[in-house]
Amino acid sequence: MAPEGDRVALFAKTFTAADGILLRGPVESALSDLGEVLRAEGVTALFFPEDDATAREIAEALVPFGPFNLTTGAEIRGGSAAVTAGFRTAEAAIAETGTIVETSGSGKTLLPGLIADVHVSIVAAASVVARMEEALSAFTADSPRNISFLSGPSRTGDIEQTLTVGAHGPKKAIALLLD
């Protein structure tokens, strides 16, 4: 198995190649960069899973960086006109393909990566695996209802073969990489 540093470096490369935005470094500067990206997208509402302490912490720390309100997935699902950013801790990331792995395991909600306009995945460097096989081997015994591989933003080429983001899912896919 490649050392963690190599895996993380490869993930940074492949995630960016998949049109994802990778933010890392000291939390302070990463937060200010993230705030800037969200403001540029017109984001005004942030939400995160109730039981995801890290996602909550990041979202709350972002509030001073822009005119952002905290809201809930249920509220967004109920119909909200606001431009939203959904925060969630990733279960794993795959270096080979630049993929964020999110599952419905242990009762976690998928809404932040599903219905938000911008998705912010919080990725622990130690959770980056080299290949897809390693990410999947964790689930062979008892698979959750949903295992999702997310690699970059939602996109379509269905109109005149012109690549356009935000067909149904997030228009921007951001990974916040924490050591």
Partner 1 sequence: MEVNANAFGRNARKALLDKALQVALGRTTERFLAHRDAAVAAFPEFEGTRERASRIKLDVLDHLDTYLLRFIEEAEKRGAIVHVARDAAQAREIATRIARDEGVTLAVKSKSMASEEISFNEALQGAGVTVVESDLGEFIIQLAGEAPSHIIAPAVHKSRQEISSLFERHLGGPRTDSIPELVGMARRHLRAKFLSAGMGVSGGNFLVADTGSVVLVTNEGNGRLGTVLPRTHLAVVGIEKVIPRMSDLPTFLRLLPRSATGQAISSYVSIVTGTRRAGDPEGPERMHILLLDCGRSAILEGKYREILKCVRCAACLNVCPVYQSVGGHAYGWVYSGPIGAVLTPLLVGLAEAVALPDASTLCGACADVCPVKIPLPDFLLELRSDIREQGLKTPGEIAAMKGYAGVMQRAGLLEAIERIAGVLGQFFTKGKGIGGLPYPFSGWTERRDFPAPAALPFRKQWKIRRGVTR
Residues that bind partner 1 (CB under 8 A): 14, 17-18, 77, 79, 96-99, 104, 106-111, 114-115, 131-133, 136-137, 139-140, 143-162, 164, 166-170
**Which candidate, 41, 81, 69, places its Cα nearest to that of 165?**
41
Range 60-90 burial, b when 16+ CB lie within 10 A, else e: eebeeeeebeebbbeebeeeeebebbbbbbb
Minimal distance in Å, beta carbon 48 to partner 1? 13
In this complex, which beta carbon is closest to partner 1, that of residue 1 or of residue 140? Answer: 140
Q: For residue 122, what is the enclosing H or E element?
A: strand 118-124
**Which candidate, 143, 123, 117, places its Cα nearest to that of 41?**
117
Q: What is the CA radius of gyration of the chain?
A: 16
Minimal distance in Å, beta carbon 63 to partner 1? 24
Minimal distance in Å, beta carbon 27 to partner 1? 28
In this complex, which beta carbon is closest to partner 1, that of residue 9 or of residue 18? Answer: 18
Minimal distance in Å, beta carbon 119 to partner 1? 10
Length of the chain: 179
In this complex, which beta carbon is closest to partner 1, that of residue 3 or of residue 162? Answer: 162
The 8-class DSSP code of residue 115 comes to T
In this complex, which beta carbon is closest to partner 1, that of residue 3 or of residue 140? Answer: 140
